[in-house]
Amino acid sequence: MTLPRPSLIAILVITISLALWSLEPAAADGIAGTRALLFWALHIVVLLPLLYLAQSFILWLQFGKWLVPVATVALSGLVGALAFTPFAMVIDRLFAASNDAADNGPLLFRAAGEFLNFIFPVTVIWLLVNARQLSRLSVPRLTAIAEPDAAGLTPDEKSFWSLVPATLGHDLVALSAEQHYVRVVTAKGDTLVLFAFGRALAAVERFDGMRIHRSHWVRLVHVADLSGTTRDLRCRLSNGQILPVSRMQAAPLRAKLDARRMSAIASQGDELRT
């Protein structure tokens, strides 16, 4: 999983907090003004990372095999809400929020009441946060086809290629993590799939490629050239796409590309001699 940029997180926290503050849900009864805004902001600051972790957990459990993407995201919202329950109870206590359903009775009963109070809004919020990516996902399975030599595919490969439209082919160029989604780029185009980035890397191990950045993997045969310094190295691909290369991967990437060039030169020499 790769978390979104800090600027995006800040926008999400501010937008959702202001929306909840203006709606004045019953959970904030007795809290007014800027204190209420801080109350909701604290909720969102704690909740968002838990939702991202829940999404990654669901994807690693491979629920995508049985659920459509919208259902996977909704389930992540439910799991995230469950994980958030004890934190919500602590925040309520800190702000002395009044919630009759969760103020009395045994701890387990209060926790259940707290969970039931926000499971629906949390799931809706998470679906809204993911709405843009969900709307851009390719239609899976109906237009997808596994790699050639399907009999030799690993489970990760089968799951991964089942989400990639057949029209894109299998001439893989690059993979890029977009939060808990993966941008799959082939020589014919690209698509967005709901898949764990770590599992996607495992699914493309048969290709001669390399992870050049925490969010990017490239197939070496499609690397056109490198530009910039080690501190700010850029990788240009055969389709014109330019991706950043992390400082730690700059030297290994140069070494692999040099080895490929030397191998190609040696092969040409052998052909000339024969």
Confidence of residue 6 (pLDDT cuts 50, 70, 90): low
More confident of the two residues 139 and 57: 57
Confidence of residue 148 (pLDDT cuts 50, 70, 90): very low
* All structural domains of the chain with their residue ranges: 6-136, 154-273
Confidence of residue 191 (pLDDT cuts 50, 70, 90): very high
> In this predicted structure, what is the pLDDT of residue 268?
63
The arithmetic mean of pLDDT across residues 173-201, rounded, is 92
Confidence of residue 101 (pLDDT cuts 50, 70, 90): very low
Amino acid (one-letter) located at 212: I
Please state which of the ranges 94-103, 162-171, 200-209 shows the lowest mean pLDDT.
94-103
Helix (H) or strand (E) holding 189: strand 189-194
> In this predicted structure, what is the pLDDT of residue 110?
79
3 state SS for 180-247: CEEEEEECCEEEEEECCHHHHHHHCCCCCEEEEECCEEEEHHHEEEEECCHHHEEEEECCCCEEEECH
Q: Residue 253: is its pLDDT beyond 90?
A: yes
Residue 121 token pair:
């809004």
**Which residues lie across from 191 on neighbouring strands?**
184
> In this predicted structure, what is the pLDDT of residue 22?
84
> In this predicted structure, what is the pLDDT of residue 32?
76
Confidence of residue 267 (pLDDT cuts 50, 70, 90): low
The arithmetic mean of pLDDT across residues 228-240, rounded, is 90
Crossing angle of the two packed helices 33-60 and 6-23, in degrees rounded to 10: 130
> In this predicted structure, what is the pLDDT of residue 145?
42
User: According to CATH, what is the number of the domain 154-273?
Assistant: 2.40.50.1020
